[in-house]
Structure 1
Amino acid sequence: MLITCHAERCLMQCVPTDPLLTLQPLPPVPDDMKFKHPRVCLRSCRTMILRKSARKQLCSQELRDRSRNQLLLRFSEIVKQFSKRKTIHSPELGTRPCHPHRFEYSKLMTEFKQAGQVDQVIRLMQEMKDFSLWPDVVCYTIVMDSLVMVNRAEQALDVFKEMIFAAIIPDTTCCTVLVKLYSVCLKQFDSAYEVILWMKNCGCFPDTFTYTTLIVGLCWDGRVEEAFGVLDYMLEDGCLPNVYTYTPIVNAYCSMGKLSQAKNLVKTMENTGCLPNNVTHNILIKAFCKIGAFDEVEKLLEKSQGNGWKPDEISYSTYMDGLCKLGKIDRSFQQLDIMLDKGLVPNEITVNILLDCLCGCSMAWEAKCLLERSAELEWEVDVINYNTVMSRLCEDGRYRAVLKLFTDMIKKSIAANSWTLSILVHSLCRDGKPRKARCLLDSEGLVANVVAYTILIQYYYLAGKAPAVSVLFSKMVKANITPNFVTYGILIDCFCGEGNYGQAVYCFLRSLEQGLSQELGARLTYWLVSGGRIRLVQYIIEHISKHDIVIDYCIYYSIIKESCKMGYCQRAELYIVCGILDKMLC
């Protein structure tokens, strides 16, 4: 039956296009209503021809669309507030002090150290020597600490030796940096203890910060019980632990999943008058979010005023991140409102979490559009924002959108990092364009890492193109990019599948030198034994034994299992199998 609408001009708008819509005859229209309320007329027509179930679906869809629009609107508002934050500028590269004095140099060196510009710190140190302003213990300590912060331990030790050779006596701060070097960077705790003992013998007594540094290193290495022992040493030397001493232990407990011990330690801190700070509470919030215990987070935030601490941007950002990861987008934006009501301004971490929220609720395309409108929103986007959206678009299979967003990023002079390249390589490979991905690896300005190479190697391996895998592996070696466990596993499977057992053995021996798991050996021995290369297995066992490496049981198990399966125990190769078993028993 044809539809007779209240007005001809709304006829096209009223015709249902959804298959769920059903045509129904309309009642006669009163004369006093004709053409007076066309919008009401339109809704009347649409409502009367909908089934009940279809009306529900339409309403729920409108609510979802409204919710999506509200999220986008809220994000735009937050970005504008974030753009008003004052940016912290580091000194310009090549900056010199206004006055050639040790104090001025040490001050500028500290600023560069805080900005992570280690090479600039070293440059200023050399300038002091060139101007015959011989550095004092403060300058040497700043240089050492800068190198330790970027894990350049050997250079830091050379600087310390140079200081001793110049007859400069280290003070407590300098020795504390040395403890940090041995405990945090090198994990040589015996040397760290020796430094503390040497300090006591020389009258340069360690302070609370020195012991706290040692505790940090122990906790990072999972030696929590030993860290508690250091607390006893502190009390014996008259050094009272502070909140920075206990917080690494709380963090270690949370990392190990021992939340009850972490909570008990926090209560002990409160009872002894050592009140936890924001860092301590943020660690607890992160641990609770990791297991989905959001009720515990709410309790912690509610008791914040009574416990003498105020949640900061990191507190709410951590909570919002935990909610987003479990799909609780609405609750995450509710916490954002609470955060803004308390006068807290979102930082770059908060903005990126919200961006990830949009991507998590199937709004990656809308997030892409927001990035492209960043100039209009006065939003100073960075590479992390782009990587977040690009990775989501890649997961959704929108590979062209990834490339378009990358082009937009380059136009805005935002430098890509290794994560960006990995996303691009993954997108191009999944889109069936591996040649373009290989070209990206050779492009200037893009830093390739092991992840990008591994993605491309895996694609060529699955495509059955072993020569391309060999070429990529050679390029990795020339570029000083160390393969990881996954890379070596793919290489071994690829080379053995093509019968290139010598190259596979070479890859395995390289992995042993890197200290990787010997599970790769079980995979390799499976290929060798099943391929009739039992003598190569014997060579591998002898090579490992010469280097005093304890062979894992999984390798022997794989050898015995495959040898029996291939019938070597009943053939001439039996003596080789017996020799391997003798090695195992030894």
Structure 2
Amino acid sequence: MLDVASYNIVIRGLCLAGRFSRAYELLKEMEALGIKKSQVTHGIILKALCERKEVDQALSYFHSVSPRSDLDVVSYTTLIMGLADSGRIDVACELFEEMSSSGSQCVVAYTAIINALFKAHRPDQAIACFERMVARKCDPDLRTFTVVITGLCKAGKLNRACEVFQEMNRKGWKPDIIVYTSLVDGLSKASMMDEARKLLQEIVSRGMKPTEVTYTSFISGLCKNGRVEEAGKLVREMGKMCAAEVLHCIFGGYVLEGKIEEALTLKDEMVKKGVTLDVRCYTNLIHGLFYVRRNDEAQEMFEAMVRQGCVPDTRTYGMIVSHFCKQGKMQAACKVVEIMDAAGLEANCHVYNSLMDGFLGVNRAREAINVYSTMLRKMVKPSIVTYNILMLGLCKLGQTADARLVLREMRERDGIVPTIVSYRTLIHGLGKAGRADEAIDVFTEMVDNGVVPDCPSCTSLIQALAMADRMDEATQLLRDMPRMGITPDALAYNALVKVLCGGAKVGPAWDVLVEMMDNSCVPDGSTFRAMKLGFKADTA
């Protein structure tokens, strides 16, 4: 007759072979024969269920075991890990506390809970669990330290991550490349580039090889902090081992600084060394060329990209559309969207926003509205930018009532909170349409909804009031701005001066000009042109 150890061997083999139903039959056979399951048996079944992602069944099996003393720390840990991996963190924590209260300690279980808490964006609970682990004399291992340091870096808690790193070294654990990379990435994102460089040097001094991710994090940090030349030097030192992931970061850095020639030179050098560029590298270079209006070279770069077998993605096409729209070349922009569609790529919200903004820029508001309709038909969700552009287009067409409806619907229907730009756009449009009372209503609504007025929004309302010949209210708002914590600029004063001069009210306009200079706001050419026209009208 087979004993429990023999059954365990067979059941484990069946579970490993994926024959779980047969393994379950043997469990029933054991019960029928009166053979008591051992702790090993329970561990085998729980592991098999968790590996099959059948966590509910594993939990049910766990609770069916009586007494609980038949379950060892391996069974507890196996289920805790399964629950944590499936996102059942609170249940895993309850089970973990039950295990701990019985006096059992397991570094694997602690690590699983800590890792799950970090993944669930609960870093404070994760570090509290780590500290409790240390206090209970359960020594962290390399995996624990790696999970804690990585989690703290991702959560932006760099000081605590560095403290754990030092503790790790004190306890004799040698950090691996994962730990170093997490710290380099965290420090780089926090603009602590000198500290990140020291760690990079420490990696090499310890005989380890920085990974592509390590270099990418560091070089990206250098570029974001304006140290592109330093990043370029490092890339050249890397030579052929430099991956496209690293290169696209530095190309982007050069483009941000307007150094497209340096980017092109580096590109040629790296290609000669055998480095293959990816779609992100080409996209950044094309963006840089368009940015300085070297359109022909940008198109040549795009064609070279395709010849190399590098397939343009949505970001590539979207960037090209954006540049054509900014240059007012709407026919070219629409053609790119057609090519994009033919390639099986769907235009996203950014592409549609670019088209709408581009059409408005060339005074084709109706076509901008049509793009919005196409966007809805294609089931692309609008963003706050979309709605702001849409309201501007409607205002340009004189459809201010529709623009007000958009402001309400974006909040009530789509849950998008209007920004200061949203309100400012509508206030300006209502003012130009001679709807001063409605402009005041929108301004009041803005304040009531907790959006703090800025100088441009106040200027738009001043202009609306002045155009409605409500000069006293316009002047009062101008003088109230400092009390609202807003310093009027030349545009605010000019809004009043222009309307006054246009109505041949040179005296009041002169008073505003004097007040403007008294408040240390320097008049510009627009101010003096308005005054000149006012004097001409006054003497005519």
- Alignment match of 1:393 (pick from 350, 353, 359): 359
Judged with a 3 Å threshold, the aligned counterparts in structure 2 of structure 1 residues 313 and 562 are, in CA distance, closer, same or farther, namely: closer
Q: Is the 8 A contact 1:359 1:392 kept in 2?
A: yes
**Equivalent residue, structure 2, for 1:192:** 161
RMSD in angstroms over aligned alpha carbons?
Answer: 4.5
Aligned partner of 1:583 in structure 2 is: none
Alpha-carbon distance change, 162 to 195 in structure 1, aligned in 2, over 3 angstroms: closer
**How far apart, in 2, do the equivalents of 1:138 and 1:357 lie?**
48
- 1:228 matched to 2:197: yes
Matches of 2:475 and 2:342, distance apart in 1: 55
2:216 paired with 1:247: yes
Match of 1:101 among 38, 50, 67: 50
Q: Provide closer, same or farther for how the CA distance between residues 376 and 335 of structure 1 changes in structure 2, counting only shifts above 3 A.
A: closer
Residue equivalent to 2:115: 141
Query: Structure 2: which 5+ runs fail to align?
Result: 1-47, 56-82, 97-108, 463-472, 494-517, 521-540
CA 1:303/1:321 → structure 2, altered by over 3 Å: closer, same or farther? same
Whole-angstrom distance in 1 between the partners of 2:188 and 2:89: 38
- Structure 2 residue 295 is matched with structure 1 residue 321: no
1:510-536 deviation digits (Å, cap 9, x = unpaired): xxxxxxxxxx5798xx99xxxxxxxxx
What letter matches 1:244 in structure 2? V
- Aligned AA for 1:249? F
Question: 1:226, 1:130 → 2: CA distance?
Answer: 37
CA distance in 1, matches of 2:267, 2:236: 16
**Cα displacement string for residues 36-88 of structure 1 (whole angstroms, at most 9, x for unaligned residues):** xxxxxxxxxxxxxxxxxxxxxxxxxxxxxxxxxxxxxxxxxxxxxxxxxxxxx
**Separation of aligned partners in 1, 2:209 and 2:479:** 61
Q: Secondary structure at the match of 2:270?
A: coil
Q: Compared with structure 1, are the counterparts of its residues 319 and 139 closer, same or farther at alpha carbon in structure 2 (3 Å cutoff)? A: farther
What residue number does 1:312 align with? 278
| 1:144-174 deviation per Cα after TM superposition (whole angstroms, max 9, x unaligned) | 2463xxxxxxx33235545776989765566
Alignment counterpart, residue 408 of structure 1, candidates 368, 374, 384: 374
Structure 1 residues 335 and 489: CA distance shift in structure 2, 3 A: same
CA distance in 1, matches of 2:388, 2:325: 19
Contact kept in structure 1, 2:111 and 2:144, CA below 8 Å:
yes
DSSP 3-state at the match of 1:206 = coil
Unaligned ranges ≥5, structure 1: 1-98, 107-120, 148-154, 509-519, 528-560, 564-586
- Local SS of the residue matching 1:257: coil
Call closer, same or farther: CA 1:454–1:207 in 2, change over 3 Å. farther
Q: Percent same amino acid among aligned pairs?
A: 17
The within-5 A match list for 1:38-53 is none
CA contact (8 A) 2:177 2:208 kept: yes
Distance (Å, rounded) in 2 between the aligned partners of 1:451 and 1:173: 48
Which whole-Å CA distance do the structure 1 matches of 2:356 and 2:197 have between them? 45
> Is 2:222 aligned against 1:260?
no
Task: Give matches, 1:119-158, under 5 Å.
Answer: 124-126=86-88, 129=91, 137-138=111-112, 140-141=114-115, 144-145=118-119, 147=121, 155-158=122-125
CA contact (8 A) 2:254 2:263 kept: yes
> Deviation of residue 182 (structure 1)?
4.6
**C-alpha distance in 2, partners of 1:260/1:313?**
23
Contact preservation (8 Å) 2:322, 2:354: yes
Match of 2:67 in 1: none
The equivalent of 1:214 in structure 2 is 183
Cα distance in 2 between the residues matched to 1:365 and 1:386: 14
Aligned position for 1:453: 422
Cα distance between partner residues in 1 of 2:331 and 2:420:
25
Q: CA deviation at 1:400?
A: 1.4
Query: Given the superposition, is the C-alpha separation of residues 369 and 249 from structure 1 closer, same or farther in structure 2, using an over 3 Å criterion?
Result: closer
Aligned position for 1:570: none
State whether residues 227 and 249 of structure 1, in contact with CA within 8 Å, keep that contact through their aligned partners in structure 2: yes
Shift of 1:410: 0.9
Distance 1:358 1:562, change over 3 A: closer
Structure 2 vs 1, CA of residues 255 and 448 (structure 1 numbering), >3 Å: closer, same or farther? same
- Is this contact kept in 2: 1:441–1:448, CA < 8 A? no
Matched residue, 1:3: none
TM-score of the aligned structures, taking structure 1 as reference length: 0.55
Q: TM-score, normalised by structure 2?
A: 0.59
Q: Bigger shift: 330-339 or 371-380?
A: 371-380
Aligned residues: 389
Give the number of the structure whose residues are more often helix, by fraction: 2
Change (3 A) 1:232 1:282: closer
SS at match of 2:247: helix
Q: Which residue of 2 aligns with 1:468?
A: 442
